[in-house]
Structure 1
Amino acid sequence: MYQPPHFRMSDDAALLSFIEGHPLGLLISSGASGLIANPVPFFLRRSEEGEGACLVAHLAKANPQWQILAQGAEVLVVFSGANHYVSPGWYATKRETGKVVPAWNYQLVQVRGHARVHHDPEWLLAQVEQLTGQKEAHRQEAWAVNDAPEAFLAGQFKGIVGIEIEITSLEGKLKASQNRSPADREGVVSGLEREETPEAAAMLNLMQG
């Protein structure tokens, strides 16, 4: 990933927390048939010692990507956060010199690693329980995996395979107008405030955080 120094996110703890907050990753791999990419919800499994982490998920058996992963090739997973178009009209520099162009602000994290494929029903059950447990924890009537009939679950698990990606490389990028002057950044903030959309509000929180 192209990484100008002022956009680089280098705090691994913050990058892992970002993944936990944005668990839908784009899983990218390459095989004999070329590149393939699928959106996959991941659970970040941290080591008990506090060092290292891996991503766990599952794919439908009908999805051919798991067969590529089983060959052990390196994979790339991209987790995306807030993003928004930046109009040149928001910059103070536009009024001063006119020497401005459009931009796009965004935040993302990239993970690289090698995948292992799991078929064991107990492993699959633990993975699904971890992911749903994390996403259901805040609900008053949280759904649990064992709420579904056992026979039904057994049938569902026959249709999926598990994947585990040990993280070997982790990098993040936050492009939030850090390369602009204070006056230009204030103009971007004002522009986002006027947009009044959820996407604008998310980017505004990043810039003001």
Structure 2
Amino acid sequence: MYIPKKYLKEEWTEVEYLIKKYPLGTIVTTDDKGTIIANHIPFFLKEDPESGKKYLIAHIAKSNHQIPSLTDSDNVLVIFQSVNSYITPNHYPGKQETHKFVPTWDFASAHVYGSSKIIDDFDFVRDQLNHITDQQEHGKDDAWTVSEAPEGYLKVMQKAITGLQIEIKNTECKFKFEQGMKEREVDGVIKGLHEEGKVEVSQLVSDANNRSGTTKA
């Protein structure tokens, strides 16, 4: 990934944030003919407390044509991306004075590289289903749990899927949110995005530029 220094995030916490906040990853592999395959799968981040190794776990349809390239592969890429937005030059106060501003796009992205295994094991898949469901239902007053569905129905549905585990080997992370711009230009973007109703992106711009009194959504 192309990452100018001002947008580079080397802390694991930033990668972790993107995976947990935006768990729908784009998983990229190549088959034995060199053909690129990509699919979009929600992941759960898991860490082994003993080894410290980090894993992405998920489930995938047994009929998915990507499975062969995910079976014992050492060359897997998963891309996670935040909410994003086009930035109009009109958000920059300086535009009215010099007109020397052009549009850009603000976003954050993490590239996670690792080795994958297909794990066709009932308990592994059920554990993954519980983890991802509990993660996404957390905080809801009427949070749904996997156990609410009839067990017979769950077993039938589960027959169509298999488990996927990716051991994380390396990561790259980019947060492109107006870093390097003058304070008033950054503030103009924060304000403009908020007025457009893009509150989450506005907050990310604020966080990336260390504005006081702000936290990640």
The letter of the residue matching 2:78 is: V
Cα distance change on mapping 1:205 and 1:95 into 2, 3 Å: same
Tell me how far apart the structure 2 counterparts of residues 102 and 140 of structure 1 sit (CA, whole Å).
41
Aligned CA-pair RMSD: 1.7
**What secondary structure does 2:82 align onto?**
strand
Tell me how far apart the structure 1 counterparts of residues 140 and 134 of structure 2 sit (CA, whole Å).
10
1:26 lines up with 2:26 in the alignment: yes
1:208 lines up with 2:206 in the alignment: yes
> Over residues 57-79 of structure 1, what are the superposed CA-to-partner deviations in whole Å (9 max), with x where a residue is unaligned?
01111111112111514111111
TM-score calculated relative to the size of structure 1: 0.91
1:183 lines up with 2:184 in the alignment: yes
Between 5-14 and 42-51, the greater mean CA deviation after superposition:
42-51
> Over residues 91-141 of structure 1, what are the superposed CA-to-partner deviations in whole Å (9 max), with x where a residue is unaligned?
233233322211111112111101100111111111111111222232333
Tell me how far apart the structure 2 counterparts of residues 140 and 98 of structure 1 sit (CA, whole Å).
49
TM-score calculated relative to the size of structure 2: 0.88
> Which ranges in structure 1 are unaligned for 5 or more consecutive residues?
none
Partner residue of 1:13? Answer: 13
> Over residues 7-60 of structure 1, what are the superposed CA-to-partner deviations in whole Å (9 max), with x where a residue is unaligned?
011110232133112111111111126111111010100121483310000111
Q: Identify the structure with bigger relative contact order (alpha carbons < 8 Å, sequence gap 6+).
A: 1
Tell me how far apart the structure 1 counterparts of residues 185 and 6 of structure 2 sit (CA, whole Å).
16
Tell me how far apart the structure 2 counterparts of residues 97 and 141 of structure 1 sit (CA, whole Å).
53
1:130 lines up with 2:131 in the alignment: yes
Tell me how far apart the structure 2 counterparts of residues 50 and 192 of structure 1 sit (CA, whole Å).
43
Aligned residues: 206
Tell me how far apart the structure 2 counterparts of residues 136 and 90 of structure 1 sit (CA, whole Å).
36
Tell me how far apart the structure 2 counterparts of residues 202 and 192 of structure 1 sit (CA, whole Å).
9
**What secondary structure does 2:13 align onto?**
helix
Partner residue of 2:160? Answer: 159
> Which ranges in structure 2 are unaligned for 5 or more consecutive residues?
208-217
Same amino acid, percent of matched pairs? 33
Partner residue of 2:70? Answer: 69
The letter of the residue matching 1:38 is: N
